[in-house]
A and B are shown apart, each in its own frame.
Chain A
Amino acid sequence: MDILINALEQMFTPATAAFAIAAIGLNFHFGLTGLLNMGQAGFMLLGMYGYAISVREGLPMWAAILVAMGAAMLFGLLLGWPTLKLRGDYLAIVTIAAAEIVRYVGRSNTLVNVTGGSLGIKGKDYKGPLEDLSPFPDERITVGPFTYHGSASDSWWLRVVAWTLVALFLLLFWRLSNSPWGRVLKGIREDEDAVRSLGKNVYWYKMQALIIGGVIGALGGVIWAHGSAVVADAMGRPTTFWVWTILLLGGAATVMGPVVGSVVFWAALSLIRALAKAFIPESILPSTAIEPFGLMLVGIALILLVVFRPQGILGNKKELAFHA
């Protein structure tokens, strides 16, 4: 029973919402436009740094959010400029490399006064402004089987904020993907030369998609940071790959795909860990191996998904984002 409640809890954590948001961003890239952004974790990390450092240095919250978004926008421009004219896998390699550069620089000792080096930035340095806005009491509140603090850190308030943002971005994706603008992006995903021949500036549209998805990813990072801390190594390549798994699991190019994917992903991961702990004896699967065991299954799940059900849970086989 505890295992089930735990899985249920995992479905609605701020982290689940943060990954859903990052996956909505990736849905603009890959689902709508067919862009292979392999550096979504880099956008998230930039958002986290942008927000946390701004708040720590005394900027108001709205300005910090703008800094986070601006950093992601610049990053997108910088990455898109050389690569969006090239074959798709160049973008993949450049984005993954650039995301790693952000991580290397962030964790480097050289910048320890700015980014906190490999230890990162502590929550108390930047969580204040959002927590001060909380209408909930400053104490632990129990609703049904769930108990969280009202306002601090991994709180009810953060859950409300995170899922409201998820809803907003879903609305945004729905509106844009069903507009003439979204139609152009879908056309680019299918065949960019055809769209070019119809008089659309393909390069510029791809740039817009890259930036808007990256900015959303950065805001996902801000939410993630409020649930835990700003640590560069938490936003390495595996994080990007999880976001991909989440998007493909839920269904790329669908509106609800990223949310369904994130909820199922985190619940399943928690179930696997708990079940492995409960039923596989220590002599066969030592406790230190449970984490890698669970993540190994994630990798296998990604392979099986892409091979056997590339449209994911919600997707439509006809509207696939993969093109040769």
Chain B
Amino acid sequence: MFTRPDTRFYKAAGLLLIAAAAFVIATLVLGGGPAEAETVEPVAAGTSTATLVIQNVINGLAFGVLLALAAVGLSLIFGTTGLSNFAHGEQVTFGALLTFFLSTNEQVTIPLVPGSFSIGLPLWLAAIIAVIVSGFTGWLQDKMLWGPLRKRRVAVLQQMVVSIGLSLALLNLLQWWMGASRHRLTNASGGRVTFGDFYIGTQTLMSVAIAAIALTGVALFLLKTRLGRATRAISDNPALAAASGIRVDSIIRLVWVMSAALAGLGGILLALFDNGAGFDSGARILLLMFAAVTLGGLGQAFGALVGALVVGVVSEVSTVVIAPDMRYASALAILIIVLLVRPQGILGRKERVG
């Protein structure tokens, strides 16, 4: 059910703004003290709550864009196959860790292969290769696992449990491969761009720019190309799409390649934003991605973007009032609340429920 961003898009954006404004006002009125010292970037002493909130909104929007990139594949796969893919988080981690593997000067190993070595490619080249290999893993998964399951008409819920098994297997494989510690993709600390009282890291800014370009690419693909239109047709009605001559299976394979590659790219950019990645980086944000996709309306590619922005802003801004180690909890709470009020998500069409 991919639809062009119409008035509902603006409604959703408005909703977001109102929610953010309400939050700012509430915190100002309640006079919630500045967050405890654990915030990502130290804030100069004496900053007002309003400044802090706006700074957090900026961080949240940046995080949201990156999250959207990582999550858009989840939405595409759900839209075309109906599968809630729990192994998507590991796909995100894989992109980041493979980039580290290819670019670091430290000694690295491969499971079951004795000995260690270092490759030391430049970061940009490592990242490109990692995205391509990520895309290939998507192809391989669909070829070896999901395609055959669809052919056997295995129920979607059963496939979902398969994806849980895959997630468990890949998570532990990644830990086996890279150990339990976090790895930094680059040691360059990067500068920051300041404007007035606010700032954003140069690395973050670059990541967000790359993510925005990639997201625009996805949007153009879905709206302007024949393959993209076919993808949307399958999301709308697979049987009808098949009947009108669209080769559903090859499109779905393409969707798997795309979403794995986008997840990989998202993982790399998130690792730059987050100053590193560990074997469970993707697993940690899996639920935030689900939240983003569900908030936006399951299966709506553009919904994932709006949802991710909401999740990003809520989780960052909430650190103004609650402890930073609970910031993800607040985003998940928003997910549950939205499901209560609007089960079809922010952008989703109202379907018969209950």
Residues of A within 8 A of B (CB): 36, 38, 79, 81-83, 85-90, 92-94, 96-98, 100-101, 104-105, 107-110, 203, 237-238, 241, 244-245, 248, 283-285, 288-289, 292-293, 295-303, 305-307, 310, 322-324
Top 10 A-B pairs, shortest CB-CB distance = A299-B169, A302-B165, A299-B168, A85-B354, A303-B165, A104-B329, A296-B172, A292-B172, A97-B332, A292-B176
B325 with A101: CB separation less than 8 A: no
Q: How far is the CA of A273 from the CA of B352 in the complex (A)?
A: 50
Pick the contact of B335: A89, A97, A238, A241 (CB < 8 A).
A97
**CB interface residues, B 101-158, toward A, < 8 Å:** 111-112, 114, 145, 149, 154-158
B170 with A299: CB separation less than 8 A: yes
Q: Which residues of B contact A306 (CB under 8 A)?
A: 158, 161-162, 165
**CB interface residues, B 290-333, toward A, < 8 Å:** 290-291, 294, 298, 322-323, 325-326, 328-329, 332-333
B168 with A101: CB separation less than 8 A: no
Which single residue of chain A is at the shortest CB-CB distance from B115? A283
B161 with A244: CB separation less than 8 A: yes
Q: How far is the CA of A288 from the CA of B176 in the complex (A)?
A: 8
Residues of B within 8 A of A (CB): 84, 111-112, 114, 145, 149, 154-158, 160-162, 164-173, 175-176, 179-180, 283, 287, 290-291, 294, 298, 322-323, 325-326, 328-329, 332-333, 335-336, 339-340, 343, 353-354
Give chain B nearest CB distance to A303 CB in angstroms.
Answer: 4
In this complex, which of B149, B164, B287 has the most chain A Cβ atoms within 10 angstroms of its Cβ? B164
Q: How far is the CA of A298 from the CA of B165 in the complex (A)?
A: 8
Given A82-B343, A241-B168, 7 more A-B residue pairs with CB atoms under 8 Å apart are A82-B340, A85-B354, A86-B354, A89-B157, A101-B329, A245-B165, A298-B172
Known contacts A92-B160, A101-B329: A299-B165 contact under CB 8 Å? yes
B343 with A100: CB separation less than 8 A: no
Known contacts A82-B339, A324-B157: A303-B166 contact under CB 8 Å? yes
B336 with A94: CB separation less than 8 A: yes
Which single residue of chain B is at the shortest CB-CB distance from A79? B336
Pick the contact of B156: A93, A289, A324 (CB < 8 A).
A324
Pick the contact of B155: A85, A104, A324 (CB < 8 A).
A324
Q: How far is the CA of A293 from the CA of B164 in the complex (A)?
A: 17
Q: How far is the CA of A36 from the CA of B291 in the complex (A)?
A: 17
Which single residue of chain B is at the shortest CB-CB distance from A85? B354
A300 with B169: CB separation less than 8 A: yes
Pick the contact of A108: B155, B157, B325, B353 (CB < 8 A).
B325
Give chain A nearest CB distance to B139 CB in angstroms.
Answer: 18
Listed A/B pairs (8) with beta-carbon separation below 8 Å: A82-B340, A97-B290, A100-B332, A105-B326, A108-B325, A110-B326, A237-B283, A289-B176
A295 with B325: CB separation less than 8 A: no
A292 with B162: CB separation less than 8 A: no
B179 with A288: CB separation less than 8 A: yes
